Amino acid sequence: MTPRGLRLLRLALTRPDALPRLGGAEWSELLFRARGSALLGRLAAEAERAGIMGELPPPVRDQLIAGKRAGELSRRRITWEVDRLKRAFFERPVKLVLLKGAAYAAADFPWAAGRVSSDIDVMVDRADLQLAEATLLAAGWQPVQHSAYDERYYREWMHEIPPLRHPDRGTLMDLHHTILPLTGRLRPDPAALLADARAIDGHIHVLSPADMLLHSIVHLFQDGAIRGGLRDLVDQRDMMVHFGADPAFWRDLVTRAEMFGLGRPLHYSVRYAVRLLDAPVPPEVVADIARRFAPPAPLGAVMDALVVKAIAPPFLFHGTRGSGLAARLLYMRSHWLRMPPGLLARHLARKAVARLRPAR
């Protein structure tokens, strides 16, 4: 059974013309959850597209206006940061692949409207990593302060270097050389991702449609903790709607997932995007992906129960029945997938000790 909060969000995404009929209590809950999932701007974009803003009660309209402005701000910042990237890398032969929010905005995909991104993610070939990092430092980016252990954690085990921050603009930049931690169970080949990336402006690229969706999927279902990840699932649904209009897309998607070993996360994404958000995936595609990649039935049942509970933030005035536990279990799962057991034990012990020391 779909919880009420998800039902309301699904209604907003699929039938925005029905929004003016919502009651005040339903609006309160929808707006609260949309804000908690960073979907307020997205909700505003849907309301605007449906042309219903004028029919909404003033407090609702005001909150949506605020969400819309947050989306516009994010868009302005991304546009500016991509411009600065182009300038920094002028005459440097590095293929820059924008990821996630920066890619959606730079490629001007429809679901970028109202989407708020907290930082800029860029991927380069590992061979170009040093040059790219040096170029960013020369352009004024600075490493965010962190411990020697954090430095080693990123450099040896992760798929990105420690985050960089621009001191004037406050923007955070994650520079990736692949899309999953080096220590994880799944290690998709970054060369194949880079080879298939599409140029959008000079040497600024975005991933191919299938890879773009798979990257969002690994971020949510392989590397992420799923908790509060509803926005990522909404992105995935949007990509399924947009890219899925081309029938070849589904074939590519399954081929690439197979090739990268990302079939299981793909299955989860399609399953929950369809079940929770009415994603229009052709039934034969859903069945084919399930047949190839679904987990054993007991595990699937556990995931069903946990994901539904954890993916949307609980409403403040409802009981939080089980969502905290579900989130903790999924968090443990994400760590399990991220590192081999020995390394995981050492990492968690290290973090636990660090937590006991007084914070400076």
Partner 1 sequence: MQRHGGGGRPWEKSLGETAEIQRDDHAAVAQAPRVAPPRPPVSDAADAALRRGDFRFRIGPFATRLALSSPLARRDFRAIYGEYPQYPADRAVDFHLRIAPTSLLRRWVRPNAMVQAGIGNAPFVPLPADLGFLALESAMNWMVATTADAWLMFHAGVVARKGRAVMMPGLSGAGKSTLTAGLAVSGWRLFSDEFALLRPETGLFHPYPRPVSLKNRSIDIIAERAGADRISRRFLKTPKGTVAYLKPPEEALRLMDVPASPALLLFPEYRPEERARIEELRPAELFALTRSASINCDRLGETAFTAIADLVARCRGFRLFYGNLDQGMTMVGELMERVA
Contacting positions for partner 1 (CB under 8 A): 23-25, 27-28, 31-32, 35-36, 57-63, 65-66, 69-70, 72-74, 76-77, 116-120, 170-172, 228, 313, 315-317
Q: Hey, which residues does 198 pair with through a beta bridge?
A: 206
Partners of 174 in the β-ladder: 121
Measured from the CB atom, the residue of 44 and 273 that comes closer to partner 1 is 44
- Which pair of structure tokens corresponds to residue 95? 């293929």
Q: Residues 6 or more apart from 90 whose CB is under 8 A from it?
A: none
Residue with smaller CB distance to partner 1, 63 or 236: 63
Shortest approach of partner 1 to residue 207 CB, angstroms?
A: 21
Residue ranges of E strands in 273-321: none
Of 27 and 157, nearer to partner 1 (C-beta) is 27
Q: Pairing between strand 172-176 and 164-165?
A: antiparallel
We find the least distance from the C-beta atom of residue 72 to partner 1, in angstroms, to be 7
Minimum gap (Å) between residue 256 Cβ and partner 1: 30
Nearest to partner 1 of 63, 208 (CB atom): 63
**Which of 204, 202, 281 lies closest to 236 in space, CA to CA?**
281
If the CB atoms of residues 265 and 313 are measured against partner 1, the closer one turns out to be: 313
Residue (141 or 293) nearer to partner 1, CB:
141
Q: Distance between CA atoms of 162 and 146, rounded to whole angstroms?
A: 8
Rounded to the nearest angstrom, the gap between the alpha carbon of residue 108 and the centroid of all alpha carbons in its chain is: 17
- Least distance to partner 1, CB of residue 28, Å: 5
Do the Cβ atoms of 334 and 225 come closer than 8 Å?
Answer: yes
State how beta strands 120-123 and 172-176 pair.
parallel
Nearest approach, Cβ of 227 to partner 1 (angstroms)? 11
Least distance in Å: CB of 92 to partner 1? 24
Comparing CB distances to partner 1, the nearer of 91 and 168 is 168
Q: What does each C-alpha distance from 205 to 9, 123, 349 come to in angstroms?
A: 32, 9, 40
Dist. CA 74–CA 118, nearest whole Å? 8
Q: How is residue 173 annotated by DSSP?
A: E
Minimum distance of partner 1 from residue 22's CB (angstroms): 9
